[in-house]
Chains A and B, each alone.
Chain A
Amino acid sequence: MVLQVVAVVASVMFAVGALLAVYRIVVGPSVLDRVIASDVLVATIICALAAEMALNRHTDTLPVLLVLALFAVLGSLSVARFLPARDSA
């Protein structure tokens, strides 16, 4: 019973965090803000998947977490590395 309440509360918190990250991706203002916000979105997805596993007592999506932890960095890394100077977009 307690865990159902915890699941609902945690879902709302994950959803609000993800929506705020999406808001920052849409608004910008610079490409680095969007990169940081997309990193937060991926981290929120990882945490939500792991929380679902913990609450439902299974380990089915652990490989997904491993792949996301390994490869989520590539997008932000390449954008930050090859960002042209004085980019305002």
Chain B
Amino acid sequence: MSAVLHDVLTAVLVLAGAAMCLAAGIGLVRFPDVLSRLHAATKPQIFGLMAVCADVAINNFSVGTVTLVVAIVAFQALTAPMAAHLVGRAAYATEHLRPDLLIVDELRGRRADR
């Protein structure tokens, strides 16, 4: 791979990860309730991490690095949705949300068991 292409790829992926983190911060401050903030918060956890980890992998392309990077992304992809799911359920059960912002409420009338 040529040096220029390498630098451009590095720059684009780093800036993509940084943009995800910035967007998550802005979304956290500007969005109105817990569920929409949760939507903003899950972007850097997966997409930003995938961008910067792919960047590390292509900069030091070896078996050890790629294995570790795949493990990091896999574990994050296993654990981050688990936390987001539990936080969303807790938000619904304790009514930390604005019902007027929901388009469809499939749990209406049902007790959300935690």
Contact = CB atoms under 8 A, between A and B. Distances in A.
Nearest to B76: A69
Interface in A40-78: 40, 43-44, 46-48, 50-51, 53-55, 57-59, 62-63, 65-66, 69-70, 72-73, 76-77
A50 B82 contact: no
A54 B71 CA distance: 17
Contacts of B91: 32
B45 to A, nearest CB: 4
A10 B80 CA distance: 23
Q: Is the interface of A mostly helix, strand, loop or mixed?
A: helix
A65 B73 CA distance: 10
Q: Is the interface of B mostly helix, strand, loop or mixed?
A: helix
A56 to B, nearest CB: 9
Nearest to B85: A80
Contacts of B114: 81
Contacts of A83: 90, 94
Contacts of A73: 79-80, 82-83
Interface in A1-56: 2-3, 6-7, 9-10, 13-14, 16-21, 23-24, 30, 32-33, 35-37, 39-40, 43-44, 46-48, 50-51, 53-55
A83 B100 CA distance: 24
Given A20-B26, A36-B87, A54-B55, A30 B34 contact: yes
Interface of A: 2-3, 6-7, 9-10, 13-14, 16-21, 23-24, 30, 32-33, 35-37, 39-40, 43-44, 46-48, 50-51, 53-55, 57-59, 62-63, 65-66, 69-70, 72-73, 76-77, 80-81, 83, 85-87
